Structures are given as C-alpha cells and as structure tokens.
Amino acid sequence: MTVRLRVAPSPTGHLHVGTARAALFNWLYARHTGGSFILRIDDTDRERSTVEFEEDILDSLRWLGLDWDEGVGVGGPHGDYRQSSRYERYRDVASSLVESGVAYYDNRTPDELEALRRRAVAEKLHPAHYIRRPATAVTEGAIRLSVPQEEAVVFDDLVRGRVSFEARDIDDFVILRTDGTPTYHLASTVDDVDYGITHVARGEDLLPSTPKHIVLTRALGASQPEYAHLPLLFGTDGKKLSKRHGATSLSLYRDEGYLPEAVFNYLSLLGWSIDGDRTIFSRDEAVAVFDLVDVSRNPAVFDPDKLAWLNGEYIRAMEPSDFTRSARPHVERAVGRQLHEEEWAKFDTVSALVQERTRLLPEAGDQVVFLFEDFAEYDPAAWDKVMTKEGVAGILSSARDRLTKVDPWDAGTIETALRGMLEEMGLGAAKGLQPLRVAITGSSVSPPLFESMAALGRDKTLERVERAIGQLSGTG
C-alpha cells in the first residue's frame, strides 16, 4: 500500500500554527514512509475564503519546507484540488446516494426540526435521536445521510486508541444543502476517498466529525482510512491557544525573522518527541524515525518564549557567513537605508559577536545601528539606570583622555587602556564600563564594548563620549 496523506486548510485566515503542525506531521509521515503528501484547499466557505489567504498558506508551507507532491499549486492526477472546483462531483455523489437509498431528501423546516430536538431533550435523549428519515418521501430539499442504527461506530485511532460512538447519537446529517452546496462532511469525505487518502491526521477538534465521515465512507463503498487525531494546542496558561498568547500565524514568525528550521523543529515537538528530552534535531533525523503512533494524546503547549530560545540556538549554530548574509536585510531595515562596502566591512568585524547575542534576526539589526547612524536620543531606561549615578562624568572624562592616546585603535589596545583606568580609579567593570556603552550606543545592549569601539572608530567614539559629558553637564 502506498501511503497518501493530506493537509486541508481553509483559506479563511492565515496559516495557523495548529494547521502548520498538522501539515508537518502529515509531511513527516509521508516522507518517512516514502508516500505522498497532498495539499487540498477546503474553500467551500465562499464568503470567508480569499485568494490572499490561500497564497499565505502556500507561502508559509513552502517557507517551512513542507513540499507537497500533489495539490493546489503543483497539480496532479485529480485536477485542481480546491473544493470549490468540485461542486458537481459532490452533487453527483449525493444524488447517487439518494438513488441507492442510503440518503434522502428532507424539506422539513427549521421549526419542525427544532421541535424534534426539543422532544429529544425532554425525553433526555441525544438530540440526534429524532433527526431520522420522515415517513413520507419527498424529492426536494436538503439531502441527509441515513445513519445505520444497528451498530456502533468504532475505530482505532493511531493516537487515541479505540474510539467508539453510539450510532443513535449520530443524527442523519445533511450532506448537501438545499442550495446545492456540500457540507464539510460530504466534501471532505468524497475528496479523501477520491484522492485515495490512506491516513487522515488532523486536529482533535475534528474528532466529533469522524464517525460521520466513517459512515459516509462506508455508504460510498470505499475503504476506511486510518485516523490520527492530533492533540490540541494550548497556551502556557493552559487555555486553548489564541491570539492572546502571541502570534498564531506562521507568516508572522517568518516576518519577525524566525528561521524556518527552528520553527520546523519547534512545531515537531508539539505532541511528539524524537528521543526523550532531546529538543534539537534536524529535519532528516525527524523523517528517519517519525511515526503517527508515537504522537502523544496529551495536550501540547505552544510557548513562544521556548520557540524564541530555540531560534537563538539555531542562530548560534549557523555558519558565520550564513549568519552575516541572513542578518544583512535586518541590519539595513534597522539602519533605515542601504549600507555601502566599508560599512559592511565594519559589520563583519562584530558579526560573530552579534551572532552569539541574537535570538531573532531583527535583534542583530538593533544591536549595530549605532555603528552606522548617530542616535537621536539615549534610551531613557539605560540613561536613568547608568548615567545618573555618582561619578559618571569623571569616568567619562578619564576614559576620553585615555582613549585619545590609544594606538593602534583596536579592541585589544582599547581594552588595555580602559582596564588600566578601572584599576587606577578602583572601579569594577560594570560600574566603570556601562557608562561608556550608553555613551557610544545610546543603549545598554550592544556587542562587547571594546570591539564595538574598535568598529565605531576613534573619532566617532570620542565624539560620543564628549556628547555624553555635555549631556551630563547640561550643555549637551
């Protein structure tokens, strides 16, 4: 059997991290088994689906490196792979199910159905109980599937184990609406059957739909796929993941400078682990061992801080030349203009130090703006914390006198001069050097001080120390 899996996002929003995680697990299993991974677009909600969201979904999946073998954007033997292009097929299937007697037309009004539901509730039965085939057949209205009542719907979910639903708790659900549009249950099941899907791995929120899909699959005379319902994602506060917990769309992570490898690694940890507590592993390592049966059924916690930490680990592991290349657009964005050759040479002298201090690529830009532009203002928090202390003016003037004599102007010589000053003035490094950092960068975060000064150059360094002295004496 060739394994065939799909992910089926609805283009009614950006690619959500939950759907990205589902896509990732499907992709991993397809790659592990040498099967196919298919991208279907569930765009039957015509009012809320947009081309822009569809593009965002495709871009985000590509960015994550989840290439698909068939589907929207790449084509394949089943045509378009958008549900909106298959309405005729869904109508044909619904009609043939009516013809064969397993589905029926229903023109009861919402009020009539509501009365049936109320009756069920009054009798303490599942509301589904009374939504059954009416005594008189009609030839118009919505089409419902007649759910066989003889046996329970039981299946072995690859993640959750045996799952069982009482047939009488499943109503005769609508498959085709009065206006001829398919419901999710019909479109999804027909596609899974037509595309030969062998494994349906999707979020646990869809578990209540699965017995309906199973009876529909049987009514179609098709063989039932394996199901794997993936654990839901929660925030660190234990509540269902939502925008309150931080960004939930993949494209925002891309735009914030996250590395696709780090996001891939992090998403794969949401309900799965490669080997005990190991958190960092490559795509290939995951492909080599991934199996849907190893997915945990416990809720998974999506923690943006852990993702940022992991991203930092990936940044530190980058080849220095790759880091420099990836950081460049962020540096230019932070500086607000393009840099020229000599400026890039300056950046190169601190690039390795910046790499060590970066969790997200935009931070690389923020750390080096001071090298290329005079800052307009001192960061108020840094100023209050460092520059308002006793003795700062004296430290700055003494540093200025020493720095004037530094020769050659390089990090080592600058360090010797400033350490000499610390010793002579009886100061610790924090107290004696922090004012210099604020003076030359305007803030308290930057690459190490001596290298920063070396890259900035003697003239600019002295000018900024002078500026801080002026500011302190009220003349700046």
Is the C-alpha dihedral spanning 105, 110, 116, 117 positive or negative? Answer: positive
| Alpha carbons within 13 A on the beta-carbon side of 69 | 14
Does position 437 interact with ligand GLU (CB under 6 A)? The reply is: no
Piece of the chain touching ligand GLU by CB under 6 A; list 4-12, 55-63, 95-103, 250-258: 4-12
CB of 127 to ligand GLU, least distance (A): 24
Contact flag: residue 157 with ligand GLU (CB under 6 A): no
Closest distance between ligand GLU and the C-beta of residue 45, in Å?
Answer: 9
Half-sphere exposure of 399 (CA within 13 A, CB side): 34
- List residues bridging with 144 in a β-sheet: 104, 174
Binding pattern to ligand GLU, positions 294-313, x when CB under 6 A?
Answer: --------------------
Q: Which residues contact 64 (CB under 8 A, 6 or more apart)?
A: 20, 23, 24, 250, 260, 263, 264, 267
**Least distance in angstroms from the C-beta of 188 to ligand GLU:** 5
Asked if 54 touches ligand GLU (CB under 6 A), the answer is no
Q: Which of 3, 125, 206, 207 binds ligand GLU (CB under 6 A)?
A: 206
Name the nearest CA neighbour of 435 among 398, 405, 409, 474: 398
Nearer to ligand GLU, 19 or 452 (CB): 19
**With contact defined as beta carbons under 8 Å apart, do 275 and 208 qualify?**
no
188 vs 355 by CB, closer to ligand GLU = 188
**Bridge partners, 16 (sequence order):** 249
Give the separation between CA 115 and CA 118, rounded to whole angstroms. 5
Residue 207 or 252 having the CB closest to ligand GLU:
207
Query: DSSP string covering 368-433, please?
Result: HHHHHS--SS--HHHIIIIITSTTHHHHHHHHHHHHHH-SS-SHHHHHHHHHHHHHHHT--HHHHH
Distance of closest approach, residue 9 Cβ to ligand GLU, in angstroms? 5
Which span (6-14, 31-39, 152-160, 355-363) binds ligand GLU, by CB under 6 A? 6-14
Which amino acid would we find at residue 46? R
Exposed/middle/buried for residue 209 (C-beta within 10 Å: 0-12, 13-18, 19+):
middle
Q: Which is nearer to ligand GLU, 230 or 414 (CB)?
A: 230
* 43 sits near ligand GLU (criterion: CB under 6 A): no
Q: Does 9 bind ligand GLU (CB under 6 A)?
A: yes
Collapsing DSSP states into helix, strand and coil, what is residue 309?
helix
Vertex 44: Cα angle to 40 and 46 (nearest 5): 125
3-state helix, strand, coil in the chain (%, to 5): 55, 10, 35
For residue 210, state whether it binds ligand GLU (rule: CB under 6 A): no
Quote the least distance from Cβ 175 to ligand GLU, whole Å: 15
Report if residue 42 touches ligand GLU, rule: CB under 6 A.
Answer: yes
Q: Which of residues 372-411 bind ligand GLU (CB under 6 A)?
A: none
3-state secondary structure of 445: coil
Question: Exactly one of 4, 14, 117, 202 binds ligand GLU (CB under 6 A); which one?
Answer: 202
Q: Which two tokens stand for residue 196?
A: 């030969």
Identified catalytic residue from 124, 239, 240, 243: 243
Q: Which of these segments, 2-10, 93-101, 154-162, 364-372, binds ligand GLU (CB under 6 A)?
A: 2-10
Q: Is 243 known to be catalytic?
A: yes
The site for ligand GLU, by CB under 6 A, has a size of 8
Q: Which residues does 68 contact at the CB level (< 8 Å), separation at least 6?
A: 27, 37, 38, 39, 61, 74
Indicate whether 83 belongs to the interface with ligand GLU (CB under 6 A): no
446 forms part of the interface with ligand GLU (CB under 6 A): no
Nearer to ligand GLU, 52 or 277 (CB): 52
211 lines the binding site for ligand GLU (CB under 6 A): no
Tokens of residue 14, six digits: 């950006």
182 binds ligand GLU (CB under 6 A): no
Both tokens assigned to 246: 């931080």
Q: Which of 36, 49, 183, 188 binds ligand GLU (CB under 6 A)?
A: 188
Subset of residues 12 to 41 that bind ligand GLU, contact rule: CB under 6 A = 19
In the complex, the smallest distance separating the C-beta of residue 12 from ligand GLU, rounded to whole angstroms, is 8
CA angle 370, 371, 375 (to 5 degrees): 30
CB of 336 to ligand GLU, least distance (A): 39
Does the protein bind ligand GLU through residue 10 (CB under 6 A)? yes
Interface residues toward ligand GLU, by CB under 6 A: 8-10, 19, 42, 188, 202, 206
Active site residues per annotation: 243
